Structure 1
Amino acid sequence: MQPANPYVNISAYKFVTFNDTLEKRSQFRALCEELSLKGTILLSPEGINLFLAGLREQIDTFLTWLRADQRFADLEVKESLSDRQPFTRMLVKLKREIITMKHPLIKPEEGRAPAVAATTLKRWLDQGHDDAGKPVVMVDTRNAFEVDVGTFDNTVDYRIEKFSEFPDVIAAHKDDFEGKTIVTFCTGGIRCEKAAIHMQNVGYDSVYQLEGGILKYFEAVGGAHYTGDCFVFDYRTALNPKLEATQTAQCFACRAVVTPREQLSPYYIPGKSCPHCQKEVRAELQEA
């Protein structure tokens, strides 16, 4: 009997020297097609970043093949399950960076910022301070529309539109965090890994990254100290703290996140428009 949620969705990344991306691209693509996997794999000289979905046996076969390469032998993977394939196609892309920050001197492979495990972070947030007695401040490194779907309570959110804006914004607010411990976080850990290194480079003396990001936090401790869901880049749009798909959607036309309440609007036509589109249209008409 087939399980109710037969599709395994995995996300993973690793910063590691990967200079043969061009040669490896065809191998990745051929294997994923053979295994009927779908999603996106980014290959870069600084490492790998992937989001894939398929049946359990095929996913396990892919990971066994990938980990046979010593560079990825210790690749850690975050999993969730779904009742259908969340991706429509399979892409293997070559990129300059696996997450664009436009700071080439930041090289996580050469040394990470300290990481805090989900269980430790929950304990810090429960008690209101870290183990040294310093207040803990959460800093969201994601884009504004992702934050709007859900984030940690009392988080610092600078409303950035793309990750490459983060370095200048956080450098300009250094004095705001005097005497505090900062924990940077993102969906799966990749953005906050670069963010924490940059913060150390510009003089922050007590900064951590959340190991494995929000998804690992959900997996380990659930939704404690977190309000809302976590945006993900596939048809599910958002996952709740149980790593289940929610009713949140994303507009095909303008790419805005559409909440269940907003989906009741007559302007929400799946695949065509949403209330956010209508606001933009009205604003343009008023300006005209």
Structure 2
Amino acid sequence: MTWTIVALYRFVSIPDLPSLRAELFEFAQARGIFGTLLLASEGVNGTVAGSAEAIGELVDELDRRLGVRQGEVKYSKADDRPFARLKVRIRPEIITMRAPEADPTRQVGTYVAPADWNALLTDPDVLVIDTRNRYETKVGTFENAVDPEIDSFTEFKDFVREKLDPARQPKIAMFCTGGIRCEKASSFMLAHGFSEVFHLKGGILQYLEDVPASESRWQGECYVFDGRTAVGHELSQTESWLRCFGCGSPITREDETDSRFEPGVSCPHCFDRLTPERASALRMRQSQMAKGQR
């Protein structure tokens, strides 16, 4: 079976989260869908996989309830099932920043279409920032982009406060995997006095799909949060990187030969902090996922 994957989000006010959570879980489960949907009062965010028909029905349902097509909806394919189970969870935020002033339902920066992004990358007056985590940026990024070297998105606001100044850097352009992080980051920066804030509409994934490789200023591959680990232009799955399902870090083929690597459990990056309880839970998950793919 070829799996259809959809990554989606929309910032929109949601009043009754418990009821919506229960109804969406039942809807997706009945259609054999796997992956994660996050719900918060500020909107919906998630990546799920299933048959093309099932995913189409789910997107239709989310659009009917939440107008998700007014946000971002991105499709791709995978040969193997990319998620072990279905999760629909309520969270305080659909992308955690812990900055109440960052409210994309009230204000966001200027969206930039992928076709126009290269012009910003070469504009000497624009500071281009990668809003992703350091384990993602090591797989690939845009040329000349600033890497904040953060371990979680919540640290981005500290980077802004400590390293940037609206008087010195008035024009900012940001990007992330699918657009959600830089959209929220743009709201945060506008709230802190940055006057011109741009962000890549649809994120890196839309850029890699729309912009021909011959014109691309992307360097490397794009880390994705599913079993494919990384994709290249036209969103084709690449073979250069694997993903440690224990910690999420991208790993190389060389890392696979390390004694600290155990499929689905650990890698050289997380082995030293892995507790016996965590290792046991991950081994059980790995076993269940293997059974589900048979």
Question: Is 2:79 the partner of 1:83?
Answer: yes
Q: Structure 1 CA distance, aligned partners of 2:247 and 2:67?
A: 39
Change (3 A) 1:273 1:164: closer
Matching of residues 56-75 of structure 1 within 5 Å: 56-69=52-65, 71-72=67-68, 74-75=70-71
What is the letter of the counterpart of residue 186 of structure 2?
Answer: A
Which residue of structure 2 lines up, in the alignment, with residue 257 of structure 1?
Answer: 250
Aligned partners of 2:134 and 2:149 also within 8 Å: yes
Out of 142, 145, 163, the residue aligned to residue 135 of structure 2 is: 145
Matches within 5 A, 1:271-286: 271-276=264-269, 280=272
**Structure 1 SS opposite 2:205:** helix
Corresponding position: 1:48 with 2:40: no
Aligned in 2, Cα 1:71/1:178: closer, same or farther, shift over 3 Å? same
What TM-score results when the alignment is normalised by the length of structure 1? 0.85
Give unmatched runs, 5+ long, in structure 1: 282-288
Distance in 1 separating the partners of 2:245 and 2:109: 37
Partner of 1:218: 208
* Partner residue, 2:146: 156
Q: How does 1:188-267 map to 2 (within 5 A)?
A: 188-223=178-213, 224-247=216-239, 248-265=241-258
Do the aligned partners of residues 87 and 252 (structure 1) sit closer, same or farther apart at CA in structure 2, a change above 3 Å counting? closer
Alpha-carbon spacing, 1:200–1:147, altered in 2? closer, same or farther (3 Å): same
- Cα distance in 2 for partners of 1:222, 1:93 equals 37
Q: How many residues align?
A: 270
Question: What is the rounded CA distance, in whole Å, between the counterparts of 1:253 and 1:70 in structure 2?
Answer: 33
Q: Contact conserved, 1:67 with 1:75, CA < 8 A, in 2?
A: no
**Structure-2 separation of matches of 1:47 and 1:176:** 29
Distance 1:45 1:194 in 2: 14
Mapped contact 2:179–2:200 kept (Cα < 8 A):
yes
Listed one character per residue, the Cα deviations across residues 183-241 of structure 1 (whole Å, up to 9, x for unaligned) are: 11111111101111211222222221111111111111155111111111111111122
CA distance in structure 1 between the partners assigned to 2:152 and 2:42 by the alignment: 20
> What letter matches 1:230 in structure 2?
C
- Deviation per CA, 1:76-104: give whole Å up to 9, x if none: 31111111221110000001100011012
TM-score normalised by structure 2 residue count: 0.84
- CA shift for structure 1 position 73: 5.5
CA contact (8 A) 2:130 2:175 kept: yes
Alpha-carbon spacing, 1:245–1:179, altered in 2? closer, same or farther (3 Å): same
Please tell me the residue identity of whatever aligns with 2:234: K
Structure 2 CA distance for partners of 1:59 and 1:177, relative to 1, 3 Å? farther
User: 8 Å contact 2:24–2:88 — kept in the other structure?
Assistant: yes
Separation of aligned partners in 2, 1:259 and 1:208: 33
Cα distance in 2 for partners of 1:32, 1:213 equals: 26
Alignment root-mean-square deviation, CA: 2.3
- Whether contact under 8 Å (2:210, 2:234) holds in the other structure is no
Counterpart position of 2:284: none
Query: How much identity, in percent, do the aligned residues show?
Result: 37
Q: Distance in 1 between matches of 2:212 and 2:45?
A: 24
Asked whether the equivalents of residues 5 and 49 of structure 2 are also in contact (C-alpha less than 8 Å), the reply is: yes
The answer as to whether partners of 2:59 and 2:68 remain within 8 angstroms in 1 is no
Question: Given the superposition, is the C-alpha separation of residues 266 and 208 from structure 1 closer, same or farther in structure 2, using an over 3 Å criterion?
Answer: same
Greater Cα offset, 268-277 or 79-88? 268-277
* 1:242 partner amino acid: E
The 8 Å contact of residues 102 and 185 in structure 2, kept in 1 or not, is answered as no
* Pair 1:177–1:213, CA change in 2 (3 A): farther
State how far apart, in whole Å, the 2-side matches of 1:111 and 1:85 are: 37
Residues 68 and 175 of structure 1, relative CA distance in 2, 3 Å threshold: closer
Alpha-carbon distance change, 272 to 92 in structure 1, aligned in 2, over 3 angstroms: closer
User: Does 2:35 align with 1:39?
Assistant: yes
Structure-2 change in CA distance of 1:273 and 1:162 (3 Å): closer
Instruction: Indicate the residue corresponding to 2:92 in structure 1.
Output: 96
